[in-house]
């Protein structure tokens, strides 16, 4: 059946089964490939998007559960204050390697920063441990989140 | 954005000089200069046939854009940043001006000088490119200067190249490279070029920003799985859960009823569901009722494989290295120490699951993939498609994790088999479960090792016989000779230690019922664990400090001794740690680089191991991009620590027991150790860095556990049950 979903500020109409995960609607129906497939079971975080600002694993989020909630993806997270800071810190700290998991990492980190401008290391562990990076960029992810949090403190 | 830097190019482009010049003209922006690239070890037939032919690595357009046709792929190791630095250094341009194109499949033109085939692996991108690409940059610079000098009627020696321009300081005249490209194309190419002395490097050795980073943080980077040719359908698949099994029957009625499912493709040993999107394809797959004929390996368990390998180490093998007389020295040794070691099968579990998009037409086949070995993809896909290789067009993409998995073309072959039954393009995407259960695995290895010590505890004899799969024998058959290949033995022979009586044998023993492949850090992934654990055992048997014991054997290896000293100093070796904690050291010479690691671990009463900190000292020769070197060490450590703590693929009833990241665990943020990297300054040629950390960290962790608990772990992964303290 048809669903109207709000993605990055635009309302889109898609005709799929109600139990179709949001991930595939984004990637295959709407052609927004920035959000990645990693496991299909919410074990790796590669598919993370924001649903009303909350970091959400799109691979297990049925399209019928979204209703009028606002979805934000990696393609538009840079338009949010926290997302822009996180993306800048990611570039400054040279976080990425293969880069495949980084959309999800950035979505988790920017949701963390938006809700908690000054996360402790333990807050970072809690928010980020659901996101696997096979290239092992964790050291730099932590540094980048700390840097972005500092720029928050300076009102940047 | 990556799209500005990396353009996928079809493989059917002729690479002759004339064609490139024409293509440059046709592209509209002016003429393209193609540069003769002297390539040591280069067996270019094109060069031989035309006498004075370019091989199309570097082009400079009339807009001044420098285009490098890239023989290596980016899979996270930073190649797309460090390779342009080599050209830019000698060409006197900003590396940002160098645009990269994936090389189309062409073994003759793009073979990696060290591998002899077109592939990115064995940590050799920088090692292979180090000289030829600097020479290409220097050659281009010299003929651009010559073109400017000719136009001004001045002596080329009075001109200088800088920032993408040729300047004539006496008159202040200057011309941009783009303005000179057309004339430069007609200039004679110098026979030999002089490269910069290391002291004159402006870029090499400085941290450079990754060119691929912006696209990877804003979601625009395009991996193989992101390919979307018009009209593409999405397929996912179930392959025989037992290797070598076949499809007996399929009931697809329920699957066909799923909204969005278009077609079910039944192959001999797999079934695919083709749909409008992956959600429908997965739902369709779940609705299939497949009966399998499990075939000859239906009862296989891992213990069968281990037993076969153990038995193989009791016979004799091919002698990989023999120094002195190990048997004689062993017989007269004061103490004899024997041990066996085992490492398990491992999956690659790249974050981007296996995938391949194929459009089969009656007379041609087009492929979209992220591959470490595009020529292999082309050749094997052509065979599967029943077409000559030149009718198979391969578009290469960014690789969402390689680690050796994407040196294989099994995924492309499978996608072609499916695409033959589908009208229009189809993207075949492996579920994570299929990806893990139908990987080609890091081989299981079994080692039987022994040493004899003299009265002072110094090793006077060393014997090692190990058995396992030779990946080279399958992947690059000419590389396997007289029972040996250079990969299986790396890290087991040519040790840095002074061992006067030394004998190492390799027994090739291919496991039945499970395919093997290269896995990050390849041969050393097992050999360094064994040798560095065993040397630690010898130190303990001699009741000597693990660092001092190694150091006394390093008179002939000053580079190894320097990294060992540095790591020990920076780690505070010898300083007390709390009870339950320990420090372990490893020393490695592999891939042309030397490293010493000190790991600090904490072992709980329940036996769980936490790696707290790793201190690394590295001598990788000349450093091209120090930021990448540090990143690769951090990366290799996480990858190796994951293997040590969790990594195991096991078989039961012929089936891989692990399936997703719950049963095949990966180190996470909350478990990541702190990592200190110290790089030794060196003028030696660059060594490889993409894999070294993975092999070096495993014995450092195992040795640290020994220091913390007194328990020697000779089998990976770490078994918490063994380390658990009695209540």
- For B516-526, the pLDDT digits (tens) are 999 999 999 99
The pLDDT score that the predictor gives to residue B136 is 78
Are residues B308 and B282 located together in one domain of the fold? no
Q: What is the pLDDT of residue B181?
A: 83
Q: List the single range of A63-77, B100-114, B262-276, B499-513 with lowest mean pLDDT.
A: B100-114
pLDDT at B115 over 60: no
Counting one residue from chain A and one from chain B, the pairs whose CB atoms sit within 8 A come to 198
Identify whether residues B45 and B97 lie together within a single domain.
yes
Same structural domain, A13 and A40: yes
- What pLDDT score does B1 carry? 24
Between A81-92 and A102-115, two packed helices, what is the crossing angle to 10 degrees?
130
- % of chain B with per-residue pLDDT over 70: 87
| Residue ending a domain, choose from B202, B217, B232 | B217
A82 and A64 assigned to the same domain: no
Structure tokens at B652: 């039961």
Record: contact A134-B403, CB cut-off 8 A:
yes
Strands B261-266 and B270-275 come out as antiparallel
pLDDT of residue B86: 87
B351 to chain A, any CB pair closer than 8 A? The answer is yes
Residue of B25 and B697 predicted with greater confidence: B697
> Which range among B100-104, B326-330, B707-711 shows the weakest confidence by mean pLDDT?
B100-104
Task: Give the model's pLDDT for residue B212.
Answer: 85
Q: In chain A, how many domains are there?
A: 2
Instruction: Tell whether B156 and B7 lie within a shared domain.
Output: yes
Q: In this structure, are residues B466 and B529 in contact, taking their beta carbons and an 8 Å threshold? A: no
Work out the pLDDT band at B691, boundaries 50, 70, 90: confident
Residue B137, beta-bridge partner list: none
Residue B401 distance to chain A (closest CA, Å) = 6
CATH at A67: 3.10.20.30
pLDDT at B112 over 70: no
Q: Are A6 and A66 found together in one domain? A: yes
What is the pLDDT, as a whole number, of residue B192?
A: 77
Helix-helix angle A121-128:A102-115, to 10 degrees: 130
Same domain, A100 and A142: yes
Same domain flag for B408 and B548: no
Of B711 and B49, the structure prediction assigns the larger pLDDT to B711
Residues B422 and B454 in one domain: no
**Which residue in B has a C-alpha nearest to residue A26's C-alpha?**
B277
**Same domain for A87 and A146?**
yes
For residue B265, pLDDT over 60 is answered with yes
Give the Cα separation of A43 and B255 in Å (integer). Answer: 26
pLDDT exceeds cutoff 80 at B402:
yes
Whether residue B404 sits in one domain with residue B486: no
pLDDT at B116: 58
pLDDT value of position B540: 98
B283 inside 8 A of chain A by CB: yes
Answer whether residue B347 shows pLDDT above 90: yes
pLDDT at B55 over 50: no
Q: What is the mean pLDDT of residues B263-283?
A: 98
Q: Both A116 and A62 in a single domain?
A: no
Mean pLDDT is lowest, of A75-79, B117-121, B369-373, B481-485, for B117-121
B473-497 mean pLDDT: 94
Q: pLDDT band at residue B44, thresholds of 50, 70 and 90?
A: very low
Same domain, B533 and B608: yes
Domain identity same for A119 and A139? yes
- Domain endpoint, select from A24, A40, A72: A72
Q: Percent of chain B at pLDDT above 90?
A: 72
Position B33 scores a pLDDT of 40
User: Are B245 and B386 members of one domain?
Assistant: yes
* Domain around A58: 2-72
Residues A36 and A84 in one domain: no
> Looking at residue A111, what is its pLDDT?
98
Residue B633 lies in a domain: yes
- B140 and B83 co-located in one domain: yes
Distance of CA A80 to the CA centre of its chain: 12
Q: Per-residue pLDDT for B61 more than 90?
A: no
Of B173 and B115, which is predicted with more confidence? Answer: B173
Q: State chain A's maximal CA–CA distance in angstroms.
A: 48
Structural element, H or E, at residue B209: none
Do A64 and A85 fall within a single domain? no
Contact flag A96-B402 (C-beta cutoff 8 Å): no
The pLDDT, as a whole number, for residue B58 is 73
Residue of B nearest to A41 (CA): B660
Structure tokens at B499: 């061992």
> CA-CA distances (angstroms) from residue B626 to B362, B367, B621, B630?
50, 36, 11, 6
B282 with B306, same domain: the answer is no
pLDDT greater than 60 at residue B656: yes
Determine the pLDDT at residue B15: 32
CB-nearest to B431 from A40, A91, A96 is A40
Residues B16 and B109 in one domain: yes
How big is the CA angle at B237 (ends B232 and B242), to the nearest 5 degrees?
Answer: 160
pLDDT grade for B366, boundaries at 50, 70 and 90: very high
The number of beta carbons lying within 10 Å of the beta carbon of residue B53 is: 18
B634 interfacial to chain A (CB closer than 8 Å): yes
Given a cut of 90, is residue B160 above it in pLDDT? yes
* Residue A71, pLDDT score: 98
Respond yes or no on whether the N-terminal peptide bond of residue B349 is cis (omega within 30° of 0): no
Is residue A68 domain-shared with residue A82, that is, in the same domain? no
Torsion sign over Cα B376, B382, B384, B385: positive
> Do the Cβ atoms of A96 and B216 come within 8 Å?
yes
Say if residue B475 is in the same domain as residue B589: yes
For an interface test with B, give the residue of A21, A48, A87, A98 to mutate (most B CBs within 10 A): A98
HEC string of A45-106 equals CCCEEEECCEEEEHHHCEHHHCCCCEEECCCCHHHCHHHHHHHHHHHHCCCCCCCCCHHHHH
Measured between CA atoms, the residue of chain B closest to residue A137 is: B635
CATH assignment at residue B553: 3.30.365.10
The predicted pLDDT at position B32 comes to: 46
Nearest CA in chain A to B214: A91
Are A46 and A96 members of one domain? no
DSSP string, B637-706: HHHHHHHHHT--B-EETTEES--STTTS----GGGPPEEEEEEPP--SPPPP-SSHHHHHHHHHHHHHHH
**What domain range includes position B273?**
224-295+354-429
Domain endpoint, select from B217, B241, B276: B217
pLDDT on residue A151: 82
pLDDT grade, residue B107 (50/70/90)? low
pLDDT in tens, B179-227: 888 788 777 777 778 899 988 999 998 888 888 899 999 999 999 999 9
Q: How confident is the model at residue B317 (pLDDT cuts 50, 70, 90)?
A: very high
| Dihedral sign, Cα of residue A115, residue A118, residue A123, residue A125 | positive
Q: Is the pLDDT of residue B42 over 50?
A: no
pLDDT tier at B36, thresholds 50, 70, 90? very low
- Determine, for residues A94 and B666 on separate chains, whether the beta-carbon distance falls below 8 Å: no
| Predicted structure pTM score | 0.90
Phi, psi of B348 (to 5 degrees): -85, -40
Predicted local distance difference test score (pLDDT) of residue B206 = 87
If DSSP codes are grouped into helix, strand and coil, which group holds residue B271? strand
Q: Give contacts of B432 with chain A, Cβ < 8 Å.
A: 38-41, 44
| pLDDT tens per residue, range B416-451 | 999 999 999 999 999 999 999 999 999 999 999 999
> Would residue B635 count as lying in a domain?
yes
Give per-10-residue mean pLDDT for chain A (156 aa): 96 97 98 98 98 98 98 98 98 96 98 97 98 97 97 54
The ipTM (two decimal places) reads 0.97
Put simply, whether A80 touches B (Cβ < 8 Å) is no
Q: What is the pLDDT of residue B372?
A: 87
Query: Is B33 contained in some domain?
Result: yes
CB A16 within 8 A of CB A26: no
Q: Note whether B351 contacts A36, CB cutoff 8 Å.
A: yes
Average pLDDT, chain B: 88
pLDDT band for position B140 (50/70/90)? confident
Q: Do A66 and A87 share a domain, yes or no?
A: no
Last residue of a domain, one of A18, A44, A72: A72
Q: Which of A32, A87, A134 faces B350 most closely, judged by CB atoms?
A: A134
């Amino acid at each position: 059946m048809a669903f109207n979903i709000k993605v990055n500020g635009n309302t889109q109409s898609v005709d799929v089964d109600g139990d179709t995960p949001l991930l595939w609607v984004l990637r295959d129906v709407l052609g927004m490939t920035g959000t990645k497939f990693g496991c299909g079971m919410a074990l790796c975080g590669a598919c993370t998007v924001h649903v009303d600002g909350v970091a959400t694993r799109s691979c297990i989020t049925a399209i019928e559960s979204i209703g009028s909630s606002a979805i934000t993806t990696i393609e538009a997270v840079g338009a949010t204050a926290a997302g822009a800071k996180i993306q800048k810190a990611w570039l400054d700290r040279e976080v990425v390697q293969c880069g495949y998991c980084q959309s999800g990492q950035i979505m988790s980190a920017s949701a963390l920063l938006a809700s908690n401008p000054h996360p402790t290391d333990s807050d970072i562990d809690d928010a980020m441990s659901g996101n696997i990076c096979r290239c092992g960029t964790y050291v730099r992810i932590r540094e980048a989140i700390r840097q972005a949090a500092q720029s928050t403190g300076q009102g940047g | 954005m990556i799209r500005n830097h990396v353009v996928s190019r079809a493989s059917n482009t002729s690479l002759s000089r004339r064609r490139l010049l024409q293509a440059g003209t046709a592209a509209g922006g002016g003429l393209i200069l193609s540069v003769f690239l002297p390539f040591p070890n280069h067996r270019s037939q094109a060069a031989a046939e035309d006498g004075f032919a370019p091989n199309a690595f570097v082009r400079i357009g009339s807009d001044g854009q420098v285009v490098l046709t890239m023989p290596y792929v980016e899979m996270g190791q930073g190649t797309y940043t460090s390779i342009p630095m080599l050209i830019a250094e000698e060409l006197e341009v900003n590396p940002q001006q160098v645009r990269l194109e994936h090389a189309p499949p062409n073994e003759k033109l793009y073979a990696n000088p060290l591998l002899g085939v077109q592939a990115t692996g064995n940590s050799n991108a920088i090692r292979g490119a180090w000289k030829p690409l600097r020479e290409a940059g220097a050659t281009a610079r010299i003929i651009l200067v010559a073109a400017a000098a000719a136009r001004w009627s001045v002596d080329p020696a009075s001109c200088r190249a800088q920032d993408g321009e040729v300047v004539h300081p006496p008159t202040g005249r200057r011309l941009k490279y783009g303005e000179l490209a057309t004339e430069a194309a007609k200039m004679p190419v110098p026979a030999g070029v002089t490269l910069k002395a290391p002291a004159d490097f402006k870029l090499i050795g400085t941290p450079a920003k990754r060119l691929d980073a912006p696209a990877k943080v804003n979601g625009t980077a395009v991996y193989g799985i992101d390919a979307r040719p018009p009209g593409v359908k999405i397929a996912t698949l179930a392959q025989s859960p037992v290797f070598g099994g076949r499809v007996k029957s399929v009931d697809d009625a329920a699957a066909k009823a799923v909204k969005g499912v278009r077609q079910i493709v039944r192959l001999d040993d797999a079934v695919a569901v083709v749909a409008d999107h992956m959600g429908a394809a997965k739902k369709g797959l779940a609705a299939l009722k497949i009966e399998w004929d499990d075939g000859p390996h239906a009862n296989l368990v891992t213990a069968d494989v281990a037993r076969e390998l153990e038995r193989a180490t009791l016979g004799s093998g091919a002698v990989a290295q023999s120094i002195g007389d190990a048997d004689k020295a062993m017989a007269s040794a004061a103490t004899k120490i024997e041990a066996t070691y085992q490492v398990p099968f491992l999956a690659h579990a790249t974050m981007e699951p296996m995938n391949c998009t194929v459009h089969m037409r009656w007379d041609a086949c087009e492929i979209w993939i992220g591959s470490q070995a595009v020529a292999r993809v082309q050749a094997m896909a052509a065979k599967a498609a029943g077409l000559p290789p030149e009718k198979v067009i391969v578009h290469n993409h960014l690789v969402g994790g390689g680690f050796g998995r994407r040196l294989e073309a099994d995924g492309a072959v499978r996608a072609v088999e499916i695409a033959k039954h589908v009208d229009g393009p189809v993207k075949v995407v492996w579920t994570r479960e299929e990806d893990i259960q139908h990987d080609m695995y890091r081989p299981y290895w079994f080692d039987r090792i022994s040493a004899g010590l003299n009265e002072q505890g110094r090793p006077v004899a060393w014997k090692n016989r190990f058995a396992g799969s030779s990946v080279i024998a399958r992947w690059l058959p000419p590389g396997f000779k007289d029972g040996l290949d250079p990969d299986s033995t790396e890290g087991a022979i040519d040790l840095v230690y002074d061992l006067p009586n030394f004998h190492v044998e390799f027994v090739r023993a291919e496991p039945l019922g499970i395919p093997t492949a290269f896995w990050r850090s390849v041969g050393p992934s097992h050999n360094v664990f064994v040798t560095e654990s065993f040397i630690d055992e010898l130190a303990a048997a001699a009741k000597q400090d693990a660092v001092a014991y190694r150091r006394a054997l390093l008179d002939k290896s000053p580079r190894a001794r320097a990294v060992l000293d540095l790591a020990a100093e920076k780690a505070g070796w010898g300083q007390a740690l709390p009870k339950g904690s320990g420090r372990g050291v490893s020393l490695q010479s592999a891939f042309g680089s030397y490293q010493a690691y000190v790991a600090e671990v904490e072992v709980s009463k329940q036996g769980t191991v936490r790696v707290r900190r790793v201190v690394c000292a590295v001598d990788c020769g000349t450093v091209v991009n120090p930021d990448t070197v540090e990143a690769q060490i951090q990366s290799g450590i996480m990858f190796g620590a994951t293997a040590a703590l969790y990594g195991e693929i096991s078989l039961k009833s012929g089936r891989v027991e692990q399936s997703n990241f719950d049963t095949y665990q990966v180190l996470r943020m909350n478990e990541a150790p702190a990592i200190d990297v110290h790089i030794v300054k060196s003028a030696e040629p660059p060594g490889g860095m993409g894999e070294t950390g993975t092999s070096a960290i495993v014995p450092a962790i195992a040795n640290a556990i020994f220091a913390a608990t007194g328990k020697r772990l000779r089998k990976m992964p770490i078994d918490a049950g063994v380390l658990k303290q009695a209540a």
